[in-house]
Amino acid sequence: MDNVPGRPDQPGIQPRGVGEILQAGFELYRRHWQELMTIAAGVVVPVTLVQYFLMHQLAAKAEIVNRNGQLTLQVSNGFFRRLAFTAVVALLSALLYQVLTGALTRAIAGDFVGTSFSLEDNYRFALSKLGPILIVSILAGLAVAAGFILFVIPGIWIAVRLSVTGPSLIIENQQGTKALARSWNLVRGFWWQVFAVFFVAVLLSGIVSAVLALPFGRNWFLRSIGAMIGSIVTLPFTTSVLVLVYLDLRTRKEQLDVGRLKAELDATGI
Q: Is residue 119 part of a domain?
A: yes
pLDDT in tens, 214-233: 888 777 788 888 889 999 99
Q: What is the pLDDT of residue 74?
A: 55
Q: Indicate whether 10 pLDDT > 80.
A: no
Q: Is residue 163 part of a domain?
A: yes
One DSSP character per residue, 193-245 reads: HHHHHHHHHHHHHHHHHHHHHGGGTT-HHHHHHHHHHHHHHHHHHHHHHHHHH
Which range of residues forms the domain containing residue 74? 18-267
Residues with Cβ < 8 Å from 165, sequence gap 6 or more?
136, 140, 179, 180, 182, 183
Report the candidate in 163, 156, 192 with the shortest Cα–Cα distance to residue 179: 163
pLDDT in tens, 60-79: 655 554 455 454 555 555 66
Q: Is residue 238 part of a domain?
A: yes
pLDDT band at 6 (very low <50, low <70, confident <90, very high): very low
Q: Is residue 223 part of a domain?
A: yes
DSSP bridge partners of 67: 70
Q: Is residue 1 part of a domain?
A: no
Q: Is residue 250 part of a domain?
A: yes
Q: Indicate whether 4 pLDDT > 70.
A: no
* Total domains in the fold of the chain: 1
